[in-house]
Amino acid sequence: DYSKIEICVEFKWDTSLDAFDDPFIEEQSDIPSFVHPSKSVKDTLGQITAYASMQLGSQYHTHAFSVLIIQDTACIVRWDQEGAIVMCPIKYGED
């Protein structure tokens, strides 16, 4: 029931599912990107975007937060009606 969720935390054990690249990479279009250009990453992005959309669509909030954890790294994402802001990756075992 997404009308009652406060924060969504998604765990992935495989590093190939890490959606965000640090540092930025250059794609073929020469536009800097922080998203890995692979199908499995697009699936991960679709999944966390769907969760945020369901949460924002069923609650009266201006924004929501989610956490994507890949092994020992966490990314905090702030979602609102305009899009998402991805914080720098946190090595939670070290930082």
Q: Which residue has the higher pLDDT, 6 or 95?
A: 6
Would residue 44 count as lying in a domain? yes
Q: Which residue has the higher pLDDT, 24 or 87?
A: 87
Express each pLDDT in 13-43 by its tens digit: 888 888 776 655 555 555 556 676 677 778 8
Predicted TM-score (pTM) above 0.75: yes
Range of the domain at 60: 8-91
Q: How many domains does the chain have?
A: 1
Would residue 61 count as lying in a domain? yes
Tokens of 25: 């990479």
Would residue 2 count as lying in a domain? no
Q: Are strands 20-26 and 32-35 parallel, antiparallel or unpaired?
A: antiparallel
Burial of 44 (0-12, 13-18, 19+ CB in 10 A): buried
